[in-house]
Amino acid sequence: MTTVDLELGLKPKDFKSDQEVRWCPGCGDYVVLNAMQSFLPSLGLKRENIVFISGIGCSSRFPYYMNTYGMHSIHGRAPAIATGLAVTRPDLSVWVVTGDGDALSIGGNHLIHALRRNVNLKILLFNNRIYGLTKGQYSPTSETGKLTKSTPMGSLDHPFNPLSLAIGAEATFVARTLDNDRAQLTSILTAAAQHRGSALVEIYQNCPIFNDGAFDVLKEPGEKEQRLIPVEHGQPIRFGPDREHAVLRNDRGGLEIGPYDENRVVVHDATTDDPAYAFALSRLSTQDLAHTVTGVYRNVDRPTYDDQARAQVSAATDAKPADLRSLLRGRDTWTVG
Partner 1 sequence: MQLTGDRFTSEAAAFGNDLATLPNFPAEIRAPAGTLPGVSSFQLHFADDDILTPGDRPDVLVAMNPAALKANIGDVPQGGTLLVNTDEFVKRNLGKVGYDANPLEDGSLDAYQLLPVAMATLTQGALADTGLSKKDAERCKNMFALGLLSWMYGRPTEGTERFLREKFARKPDIAEANVLAFRAGWNYGETTEAFATTYEVAPAKFPPGEYRQITGNAALSYGIVAAGQCAQLPVFLGSYPITPASDILHELSKHKNFNVITMQAEDEIAGVGAALGAAYGGALGVTTTSGPGIALKAETIGLAVMQELPLLVIDVQRGGPSTGLPTKTEQADLLQALHGRNGESPVPVLAPLSPGDCFDVVIDAVRIALRYRTPVLVLSDGALANGSEPWLIPDVDELPDLRVTFATEPNATDGSGEHWPYVRDESLAREWAIPGTPGLQHRIGGLEKADGKGSISYDPDNHDRMVRLRQAKIDGVEVPGLEVEDPGGHADVLVLGWGSTYGPIGAACRAIRKRGQSIAQAHLRHLNPFPANLGEVLARYGTVIVPEMNLGQLSLLLRARYLVDVVSYTKVAGTPFMESELVDVFSEHLGTTLAEAA
Contact residues for ligand TPP (CB under 6 A)? 56-59, 75, 99-102, 126, 128, 130-134, 139
Instruction: Indicate which single residue of 28, 41, 99, 108 sits in contact with partner 1 (rule: CB under 8 A).
Output: 108
Burial 47-75 (b: 16+ CB within 10 A, else e): eebbbbbbbbbbbbbbbbbbbbbbebbeb
Residue 164 binds which entry of ligand SF4, ligand TPP, a copy of itself, none, CB below 5-8 Å type-dependent: a copy of itself
209-228 residues near ligand SF4, rule: CB under 6 A: 209-210
State whether residue 301 is helix, strand or coil.
coil
Give the integer Cα–Cα distance in Å for 72 and 56. 7
Give the integer Cα–Cα distance in Å for 105 and 77. 11
Give kind and range of the element (H or E) at residue 116: helix 108-117
Give the integer Cα–Cα distance in Å for 69 and 8. 18
89-118 residues near a copy of itself, rule: CB under 8 A: 105-109, 112-113, 116-118
Give the integer Cα–Cα distance in Å for 82 and 100. 18
Instruction: Indicate which single residue of 85, 207, 214, 218 sits in contact with ligand SF4 (rule: CB under 6 A).
Output: 207
How near is the Cβ of 152 to partner 1 at its closest, in Å?
5
Nearer to ligand TPP, 97 or 237 (CB): 97
Nearer to ligand SF4, 29 or 202 (CB): 29
Give the integer Cα–Cα distance in Å for 61 and 70. 10
Instruction: Indicate which single residue of 12, 44, 208, 254 sits in contact with ligand SF4 (rule: CB under 6 A).
Output: 208
Within 8 A by CB and 6+ apart from 253, the residues are: 276, 280
Q: Give yes or no for a contact between 172 and 195, defined as CB atoms under 8 angstroms apart.
A: yes
29 in contact with ligand SF4 (CB under 6 A) = yes
How near is the Cβ of 128 to ligand SF4 at its closest, in Å?
5
Where does this chain bind a copy of itself (CB under 8 A)? 105-109, 112-113, 116-118, 140, 153-154, 156-161, 164-170, 249, 251-255, 266, 269, 272, 274-277, 279-281, 283, 302-303, 305, 308-309, 312, 315-316
